[in-house]
Amino acid sequence: MNEKLIKIIEDYRHYLTGELGFSKETTVGYVSKLKIMLARLKIENVDEVTDIVINKRLLDDFWIERQEQRPYKPQTRVAYLSTLKKFLRYLYVRGIIAEDITDRIKLPKRDILFLEGLNKDEQKRLRQYLAENLKTEVGLRNTALIYFLWSTGCRISEALRLNCHPDSYIYTGNSKVISGNFHAEDRKTYVHISGKGHKNRIIRVAPESVMYLNLYLDNRAIRNEILFQNIANNRNKTVKRLTRQGSVQIMKNLFIAAEINKTPGLCTHLFRHTAINHWIEQGHTDQEISEMAGLLSNSIIIYRNRNKYLTDVFGDKSKTLPKLQDKRLLDIEDKIRRRYYDL
């Protein structure tokens, strides 16, 4: 650590006690954690204080090494990160760095396999379970939601914001009627998605998905433009949208019932990755898939590389195997996570 950075940390110590009124013990704790983080992140001077450098080194060095020595509790990780962010905000306010990068520093999620979707056997079991649970409004809604995510590759947050026609229907065929976020053209149905960063896209919805959507909409107790309703509120005649938390619980319950072993909390993105892998198998170009999924083209290359690796190592069985734990595959996905945080 060069002299300039040492001087900045010393000034920061006086800032904590003088301007913020921290006690001596609290200040010692903050500065101690800060020095540990800067040393682990190998930050020797202020020029290295960027969100790209910090995020990469948080993943590559700091958390891995510390985790192997002694497992971190989630609150401990948050405490260390909070300490670093407070220092970064100080650097920005004092004009030492040009940008406020505080909100761009993230805890890496090392346990997430971003690219894994449902294999062929899991898809078959889920289809069978859904087909047997179409007798209630809840069952119809859950089936419609799953098939929609499955066919469009939408993020769950994007799907939950969608509207249908106020008649509680999605008009199809050659109809020129706009059904909320849906429209029909040349006997094909399309949905208009408002994605991250206000990036809009139009995706074709598979006929099977449209069928289940309209089956659900036609059998709803309350008919309005909200596509996926929180049915629990219908008893009070108040119509609200299904929440993300509610959709996560739905999928966890579905996977348990269909005997599909997936990590809780990651269920909503499984259909997105399943759809992208399916589009690759169908022969769509990277540009076409990136437009449908709302991703950069170079992100699609990652999917292709992973799928090629699976085929090279496991042959045709790769599409029917259960969750793969081959160390070489995990190493590849680990490297991918170091570059891409939001697939």
Asked if 40 and 132 sit in the same domain, the reply is: no
Is residue 170 a part of any domain in this protein? yes
Is residue 184 a part of any domain in this protein? yes
Q: What are phi and psi of 171, to 5 degrees?
A: -75, 135
Is residue 300 a part of any domain in this protein? yes
pLDDT of residue 113: 38
pLDDT of residue 342: 43
pLDDT of residue 197: 63
Q: Which of 43, 69, 104 is the last residue of a domain?
A: 104
pLDDT > 90: what percent of the chain? 30
pLDDT tens profile 57-95? 775 455 544 444 455 555 676 777 888 888 889 999 999
Is residue 112 a part of any domain in this protein? no
Q: The domain that contains 324 carries what CATH number?
A: 1.10.443.10
Asked if 132 and 99 sit in the same domain, the reply is: no
Is residue 114 a part of any domain in this protein? no
Terminal Cα distance for the chain, rounded: 35
Asked if 84 and 183 sit in the same domain, the reply is: no
Asked if 239 and 156 sit in the same domain, the reply is: yes
Asked if 130 and 98 sit in the same domain, the reply is: no
Asked if 139 and 42 sit in the same domain, the reply is: no
Structural domain containing residue 233: 120-339
Asked if 76 and 206 sit in the same domain, the reply is: no
Is residue 306 a part of any domain in this protein? yes
Q: What gap in Å lies between CA 332 and CA 306, rounded to an integer?
A: 8
Q: What angle, 0 to 180 degrees and rounded to 10, lies between the N-to-C axes of helices 244-257 and 120-131?
A: 100
Asked if 9 and 65 sit in the same domain, the reply is: yes
Residues 188/203, Cβ–Cβ less than 8 Å: no
Is residue 157 a part of any domain in this protein? yes
Residues 138/243, Cβ–Cβ less than 8 Å: no
Burial class of 71 by CB neighbour count within 10 A (0 to 12, 13 to 18, 19+): exposed
Asked if 334 and 248 sit in the same domain, the reply is: yes
- Tell me the pLDDT band of 142, cut-offs 50, 70 and 90: very high
Q: Which residues pair with 201 in a beta bridge?
A: 193
Is residue 75 a part of any domain in this protein? yes
How many domains, the chain?
A: 2
Asked if 51 and 132 sit in the same domain, the reply is: no
Average pLDDT over residues 89-107: 86
> pTM (2 decimals)?
0.59
Q: The domain that contains 87 carries what CATH number?
A: 1.10.150
Asked if 147 and 252 sit in the same domain, the reply is: yes
Asked if 202 and 134 sit in the same domain, the reply is: yes
